[in-house]
Amino acid sequence: MEKKRQTDNKRGKGKSPQPRFNAIWIYVPLLVMIGYMYFFGANGGDPIKTEWYKVKEQMIAQGDVEKVTFITNQNRAEVSIKKDSLGKYKNMFGGREPKYGPHFYFIVSNNFDSEQQLEEARGALPAEKRFSIETEERTNYWGKVLDWLLLPIIILAIWFFALRNMSKNVGGGAGGGGIFNVGKSQAKLFDKDNQVKVTFKDVAGLEEAKVEVMEIVDFLKNPAKYTALGGKIPKGALLVGPPGTGKTLLAKAVAGEANVPFFSISGSDFVEMFVGVGASRVRDLFKQAKEKAPCIVFIDEIDAVGRARGKNTGFSSNDERENTLNQLLTEMDGFGTNSGVIILAATNRADILDKALMRAGRFDRQIHVDLPELKEREAIFNVHLAKLKLDKDLDTAFLSKQTPGFSGADIANVCNEAALIAARHNKQSIGKQDFLDAIDRIVGGLEKRSKIIPPHEKKTIAFHEAGHATVSWLLPNANPLLKVTIIPRGKALGAAWYLPEERQITTKEQMMDEMAATIGGRVAEEIINGRISTGALSDLEKLTKQAYAMVSYFGMSEKVGHVSFYDSSDGYGFNKPYSEKTAELIDKEAKELIDAAHAKATEVLKANMEGFTKLANLLLEREVIFSDDLENIFGPREKKEEELLLEKESETKEEMEVKENE
């Protein structure tokens, strides 16, 4: 029992709860007083106002008055009614007889001769019905006190409630709140009593990142394994990657898997309107972490406080944020070697983080969480599809092929959207078409079949989209086409879906073919209508950006040379890193690339006018066509050099295996 008692005391269970101030302590007495005055105020208290003629003609004339008191310094006279006569006036007191007086009062003007008037009225009564007359001077001390205290009380009450509401907004959160606790850390603590249910089983497709993170957890569980060889436990790891790739999910899995305390906080939680609050919260966070060591501290969206210092100070200076960052740098580098506190942080803007924050000793490791590849997308689909009712013949490999460039969050959205579409059509299970419709909706937007488009505009749109489809199909390096539609979606009047290749590098030839496919719609309008329209705006925007990137970033221009003006460290510079002459040359070279793509698209379309026209008419008829329709018109796509090389390598391998077997 003693041991149990000690344990409870350690956990805080043995401590008696401390009383805390609550506004109900003020409200309840006030309500009681108001209720008392309402229900019992008629039994005594303030008299009811009346007029002198009523007192004289009714109350005095009937012999109901017991006493009249004239208050000289208030020009007021109070009337007390005899007990046996109170029943006549019950209605005026809410149906109750007051227990004590005075019961009525009337205002006395300066012209009113009280002694004469009262004496005349009393003299007219029989001796047994006469009332007594008293004169007094009365001072209301409580009224004077209230006059002095009322305004300060009102000001204090307003200040109290305003401060209370401010404390909820300013100092609220996990740390208990209050304006006086505004400098306390807002981090949420997850430990044995408050566990996260997410585990590494819920994280699919991030195998390399999971290995790195699991190793960090192992550092904390078995530190002797690493320190015995003289190694030092890493102090921090930074999760870097595009939005939606699973950085925060990975951190949640660490919290669910690790048997150590886990502090979770957002970078924006350090930022506050008060000076010095951010630095104070950083100190408090690391103080708590040291007390709970070994533990993990996770800072999500660290770029909110970790932005590089000293850049464009005249435009975006924020001393408070920099002070917070300085304190964070100090705390991260101030630990002992084996203090047992490891920092995890996540950001999708690693390029803007301060170099001092990124150095070894603070964040020893950078774990890149990239967009999932084909096999990883399939694994992510399997995680999200486990909770859905699916058709038996649904192929997850097919779905993963249809979603190149999708993040984990995008795939989760696809699965949810497919379920909603199936439910909208009253289906009992989710099929392949539901997922395809979900992908189309997410990529292109909602179909607008009710939108009225004139026939001549619809024809232009059909030939525009057919131009894209024809050029992309006939050029071997362009992305293969999946689907073309002239049904309006989102802001677009028509759309074409492509299946981008999952490649790590892109050649100039591939980029030129993609540019030709992009401008294919504009070229189709020129050939068919003899004029151009505004429908190619998004195509031209994409085309221009790609051309300038090829010239100024990738060094794909012979005249500009093998130079790159891309600055990965600072993308927000106000000055161009080249001269005006070079700028003119870049503009000229970019235009030449666009002209070359235009010429190539024109050549392809004019050489295949029959198939191009047939495709456009088919699109007008069906509104939606697929890659099978293009194959029927133009035949199978030309194989790329890479595909031919792979086929030759596979044939060579098969021949060698046959010879070895012989």
State the catalytic residues.
465
Per-residue b/e over 630-647, b at no fewer than 16 CB within 10 Å?
A: beebbeebeeeeeeeeee
Whole-angstrom Cα distance, residue 524 to residue 506?
A: 27
Alpha carbon of 146 to those of 31, 33, 155, 232: distances in Å?
Answer: 19, 17, 14, 71
For residue 231, the 8-state DSSP code is: -
Whole-angstrom Cα distance, residue 274 to residue 190?
A: 28
Whole-angstrom Cα distance, residue 274 to residue 266?
A: 18
- 489 - beta bridge partners? 447, 492
Q: Tokens at residue 76, please? A: 């007021």
Phi, psi angle pair for 307, to nearest 5°: -60, 145
Task: Find where tokens 């099929």 sit.
Answer: 431
Q: Tokens at residue 564, please? A: 């790159």
Angle between helices 580-607 and 508-529 (to 10 degrees): 60
Q: Tokens at residue 139, please? A: 């001072």
Largest CA distance in the chain: 150
Whole-angstrom Cα distance, residue 518 to residue 625?
A: 18
Angle between helices 609-622 and 508-529 (to 10 degrees): 70
Q: Please, what sign has the CA dihedral across residues 285, 290, 296, 302?
A: positive
The neighbour count for residue 321, using CB atoms within 10 Å, is 19
CB neighbour list of residue 390: distance below 8 Å, 6 or more residues apart = 429, 430, 431
Q: Tokens at residue 135, please? A: 């004169």
Q: Tokens at residue 480, please? A: 């293969």
Alpha carbon of 321 to those of 197, 310, 570: distances in Å?
Answer: 34, 12, 19
Q: Give the 3-state secondary structure of residue 136.
A: strand
Q: How many CA atoms lie within 13 A of 202 on its CB side?
A: 18
Determine contact, residues 136/69, Cβ cutoff 8 Å. yes
Whole-angstrom Cα distance, residue 415 to residue 435?
A: 7
The neighbour count for residue 649, using CB atoms within 10 Å, is 10
Determine contact, residues 362/237, Cβ cutoff 8 Å. no
Q: Which residue type does 646 have?
A: L
- 76 - beta bridge partners? 71, 107
Phi, psi angle pair for 172, to nearest 5°: -75, -175
Determine contact, residues 464/494, Cβ cutoff 8 Å. yes
Classify burial at 248, counting beta carbons within 10 Å of its beta carbon; exposed 0-12, middle 13-18, buried 19 or more: middle
The neighbour count for residue 182, using CB atoms within 10 Å, is 22
Whole-angstrom Cα distance, residue 285 to residue 193?
A: 19
